[in-house]
Amino acid sequence: MATNESISIFSSASLAVEYVDSLSPENPLQEPFNNAWKYMLNYTKLQIATWGSLIVHEVLYILFCLPGFLFQFISFMKKYKIQKDKPETWENQWKCFKVLLFNHLCIQLPLICGTSYLTEYFNIPYDWERMPRCYMLLARCFGCVVIEDTWHYFLHRLLHHKRIYKYIHKVHHEFQAPFGMEAEYAHPLETLIFGTGFFIGIMLLCDHIILLWAWVTIHLIETMDVHSGYDIPLNPLNLIPFYAGSRHHDFHHVNFIGNYASTFTWWDRIFGTDSQFTAYNEKMKKIEKKIQYISH
**Contacts of residue 244, Cβ cutoff 8 Å, sequence gap at least 6:** 226, 259, 261, 262, 263, 264, 265, 268
Q: What is the mean pLDDT of residues 239-250?
A: 94
Q: What is the mean pLDDT of residues 254-272?
A: 94
Using 50, 70 and 90 to split pLDDT, how confident is the model at 26?
A: low
Q: Quick check: helix, strand or coil at residue 219?
A: helix
* pLDDT for residue 10: 37
pLDDT above 60: residue 21: no
Question: Of 29-33, 157-161, 232-236, which range is least confident?
Answer: 29-33
* pLDDT for residue 15: 41
Cα gap 167→189, rounded to integer Å: 10
Is pLDDT larger for residue 170 or for residue 27?
170
Kindly report the average pLDDT of the chain as a whole number: 87
Question: Are 280 and 174 in contact, with CB atoms under 8 Å apart?
Answer: no
pLDDT above 70: residue 2: no
**Contacts of residue 100, Cβ cutoff 8 Å, sequence gap at least 6:** 181, 184, 185
**Percentage of the chain surpassing pLDDT 70?**
89
* pLDDT for residue 293: 67
* pLDDT for residue 114: 86
Using 50, 70 and 90 to split pLDDT, how confident is the model at 188?
A: very high
* pLDDT for residue 284: 83
Question: Are 220 and 97 in contact, with CB atoms under 8 Å apart?
Answer: no
Using 50, 70 and 90 to split pLDDT, how confident is the model at 185?
A: very high
Angle at 22 between CA 18 and CA 28, to 5 degrees: 150
Cα gap 225→237, rounded to integer Å: 9
* pLDDT for residue 225: 95
Cα gap 244→224, rounded to integer Å: 13
Element containing residue 82 per DSSP (H, E): none
* pLDDT for residue 11: 45
- The alpha carbon of residue 112 and the mean position of all alpha carbons in its chain are separated, in whole angstroms, by 18
**Percentage of the chain surpassing pLDDT 90?**
67
**Beta carbons within 10 angstroms of residue 26's beta carbon:** 13
